[in-house]
A and B are shown apart, each in its own frame.
Chain A
Amino acid sequence: MEHYTMNLTLKVWRQANNKSEGRFETYQVNGISSEMSFLEMFDILNERLVIEGKDPIAFDHDCREGICGMCSMHINGRPHGPWHATTTCQLHMRAFKDGDTIVVEPWRAVGFPVIKDLITDRSAFDRIVQAGGFISINTGNAVDGNSIPIEKAKADASFAAAACIACGACVAACKNASASLFLSAKIAHLGLLPQGQPERKDRVLSMIAQMDKEQFGSCTFTGACEAVCPKEISITNISRMNKDYLMAGLSSEK
């Protein structure tokens, strides 16, 4: 792989806190190696800002290997940037060329209020899981792991849905700021397994109710969520969730 260095212009959203007005600020970064990750480029900029006595750009990140779901930048209009199935932290500077201008914004959604700069509050996702995204089994109650065989195709589909990292890119990309892809991934993960059946109906109803409370929109199947999902969660999970919702809603006795 050929290496090269580049000079870039960054337009970054700066916002002191949830109460204050935000604005874009422009930064010039020079001598960026194509081998760097996108966040390492931010590290370099932040080091410079600290030395200059300025406030560094706040952004969420932790594992930097694409699995914790913490990083969340809207880069040139696309959640996590231009690469397919890639989180911000796994995006590398090879994706850009000398002279590029890169616009970086936080996730935009009423359900994800900005905390500072590029950091948003995604605790709504935790509360949605609290509403029913689990199997109610206390520690120590389990039967032998092999006592319930699970069809491989179903186990695989369940795993594919469970691969969701709750980064919120789906919400960020959706024109309705809907959390349906996140929600449906959880519902599919648990609903496809025999262990998830006893609570399947209650789960979908209470999780949907919580999504409404958290100010996320409805799914209109534009497909933007699936296109930007770093873990390639399929939008068919949303249809599956809708089916569960219909079944549960129609059969509930309350």
Chain B
Amino acid sequence: MYSDKVMDHFENPRNVGEIENPDGVGTVGNAKCGDIMKMYIKVDDEKINDIKFKTFGCGAAIATSSITTEIVKGKTIEEAQQLSNQAVAEALNGLPPAKMHCSNLAADALHKAINDYLGIDNEEDNDEDAHHGHDLGEECTLDMN
């Protein structure tokens, strides 16, 4: 159900970990939904000098986190702000429909980390609502028979 690219990032996730004294931290999701992503950024001369993540979640959650860090490392803050969840999914050669909404939040976590750096208040956590606003597709239906 996952592309080779997703499997590659799941098996060999890039930039896992935390940054000591980060310039910005962003967290999305919650344990109730089964996905939490936390992004740490270090900014130097308006560029993302270093980025690390920690993720609790499914294969898609881990792969989207990993590729997001890879895409924006070395990019300017402005460029990183343009990155969308959709673009992250495309960079992974697509995600199963059911995963598009529930596990594809890495860009959101990045934006929160950037806002944290810029001193912009992150909006109150509506992640749970955002999660539950979407219907799941057929992709994620492995029942325990």
The answer to whether A and B belong to the same complex is: no
Using a CB–CB cutoff of 8 Å, the interface residues on chain A facing chain B are none
